[in-house]
Structure formats: structure tokens, C-alpha cells
Amino acid sequence: MVKKAKSSSKSTGTNRYSSPMIITGVVLVVVMIGGLIAAIFAYSNRGDNTSTEVIIEEVTDCPVEDGTQERKLNFEKRPVWCLKNGHTYTAIFNTSEGEIKVSLDTDRAPETVNNFIVLSRFKYYDDTLLFRFDPSLAIIQGGSPHTNDWSDPGPGYTIPDEGGLFSTSGGSTFGPFTYEAGQLVMARSSGPNSSGAQFFFTTGDEVAVLNGQGSYIVFGETDEEGLTVLQSMMDLYEVDETSPYGGGPIRDVVVNSVEILADPVTN
């Protein structure tokens, strides 16, 4: 197991994942980091094939949509349902390296999208670092407003797995997802239903190494322009033996804000 360690505000350090054999051995630790949690909830979520059951109370009223919502980082329970029927949703990441527009998948991952939208409207992701770059997996990770690293405690809750059949074996969770460049994906810990707020972007074919596990929920996809921005970000990577991440960008990469657009579906 890779020893847990906090990073500085800039992600740097030794590349532990250059060998494919090492990647498969440590990927459960280095990527499944979607919020450290004290308890993991079983659940029965809407729209997938899982059969476990959970009782999770709702957290709060829906945030306002006009950008005037007061920022909130800590919650007691996961969000109420805030999506509108008959609408499509787009997340616009305004970053220090350019804009990334992501179409959110309300069909396959409605609970995950709802959670992300609520957090975004509470300005949870504003002024946070994309803190972990891993070219061996082609991922760029963020979503940690408390610590700006993967040890962030998260929003105070976790959300259900969804999007297909999930199973557990040997302390790890396996799911139905496959990965390619240009996706927006939830990070997680090794247990079921353990995503919270951390996410990662996929930037290249190397991310397909995660297909054998498939438990990281894909809930959005960017366009060609957004992928170009992401790949330009990855080009900022340099190896640094002093960092727990194996290296990082030559300058801080910041998510300034995440804007959510809701558009009615037209026939």
C-alpha cells in the first residue's frame, strides 16, 4: 500500500506508476480517493442493478441557481434532489488554463450529477487546485477545497454507486464503467458507495488501465476543445522526487469556478 501523505499546494514528487505491473498494484490507493470517510453506506439507488439497501437522509434545500448562493463546504447529509425534469445540464469549469465544458450524464448517473451540481452551486469547487496529475494513468484530479490534496475529508457524506452492476471482492469494489479521454469521473475509496466530491478528468488512452475495476463513476464528457485544454494541462507535468504524487504541473492549476447551465430539452 502506498503510504498516505499530504502534499503542498503544488503537486510534485517521484513517479511510482511507470510500470504497468506497479500501476495495477497501487491504482486502488492512488485513484480511489474520493473523500476519506468514517463509514461506508450500502444503498439501493435509482436506476441501476445493485441490490443493497440504505437509509440516507437528505441534506439541505437546493441552492439558488443565479450565482448568489453563499459558499458552503460542510454538510451533514447528502443533497436533496435538485434537478429539473426535461432539462440537460452542462458544467463549465473556468480554470487558470482555460475553459472546460462538460455535458453531464443525467441518464446513467443522475444521483452523481445531482450531487455535483448541488456542490457546484454551493461554490464548493471554487478557487481549488487541480492537485494531482498522473500521466501514467492520464488523469487530472481535483475537488478538495479543505486541503487541496487527496487527503481532503470531503463534504461530510458519500453518495450511492450507480450506472450498472457493482460488486465487492477482496476489499475492493468493481463496476461497469470503461474509460477513455475526455471524461469527468468521480474519485472514490475502495469500499462501495464511497464517492463524495473529488473528481478526475481523463486526458488520454492510458486511463483504460482502470477498466479492470470499472467502479469510478463516469458522469460527464467534454468536447474536443475541452480535451485540448486538459491535454495542455498535462503537458505542464514534470517529475519531482520530493512529491507523494510523483510529480506535478510546473505551476498551480486552479479551478476558479464551476458554472452550471440548465437547458430545457427541445423536441
Contact 49, 176 (CB under 8 A): no
pTM of the model: 0.79
**Element containing residue 256 per DSSP (H, E):** strand 254-264
Q: How many CB atoms lie within 10 A of CB 225?
A: 12
SS3 track for 208-234: HHHHHCCCCCEEEEECHHHHHHHHHHH
Please answer whether residues 200 and 233 qualify as being in contact, where contact means their C-beta atoms are separated by less than 8 angstroms: no
Q: Write down the pLDDT at residue 101.
A: 98
Phi/psi region, residue 214 (left: phi>0; alpha: psi -120 to 50; beta: rest), is left
Q: pLDDT tens for residues 16-53? A: 333 343 334 434 333 443 333 222 222 223 333 433 34
Given a cut of 70, whether residue 181 has pLDDT beyond it is yes
Cell of 90: 452542462
Question: In residues, how long is the chain?
Answer: 267
Identify the weakest region by mean pLDDT among 2-6, 70-74, 160-164, 226-230.
Answer: 2-6
pLDDT at 113 over 50: yes
The arrangement of secondary structure in 20-55+91-264, i.e. its CATH architecture, is: Beta Barrel (2.40)
Percent of the chain with pLDDT over 90: 73
Q: Where are the domains of the chain?
A: 20-55+91-264
Q: pLDDT, tens digit, for every residue of 142-156?
A: 999 999 998 999 999
Residue 225: pLDDT band with limits 50, 70, 90: very high
